């Protein structure tokens, strides 16, 4: 099921997460980092986390940056948009 509300930017962050390029800070309002840089749209990134599309890959301390991973729902959104498990065009 394709989600028409997801922007190209949202799909890009999902693809970057699938490629292992994303880290997330552990807090109630997490921040996303892509290739070591703060993502330009933190509210959009937080929406993806709160929607259950991205999650931390492991536990850690409050404020720590840990690798991010796609949830099953996030992988489904990418698949519905025509992208494979590694975020590349299928």
Cα(73)–Cα(53) distance, integer angstroms: 6
> Does the pTM exceed 0.85?
yes
What was the pLDDT predicted at 1?
Answer: 42
2 pLDDT higher than 60: no
What was the pLDDT predicted at 85?
Answer: 64
In sequence order, the 6+-apart residues with CB closer than 8 A to the CB of 43 are none
């Amino acid at each position: 099921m394709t989600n028409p509300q997801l922007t190209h930017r949202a799909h890009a962050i999902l693809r970057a997460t699938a490629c292992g390029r994303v880290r997330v800070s552990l807090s109630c309002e997490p921040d996303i980092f892509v290739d070591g840089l703060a993502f330009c749209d933190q509210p959009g990134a937080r929406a993806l986390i709160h929607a259950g599309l991205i999650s931390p890959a492991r536990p850690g301390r409050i404020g720590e940056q840990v690798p991010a991973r796609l949830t099953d729902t996030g992988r489904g959104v990418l698949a519905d948009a025509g992208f494979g498990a590694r975020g590349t065009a299928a």
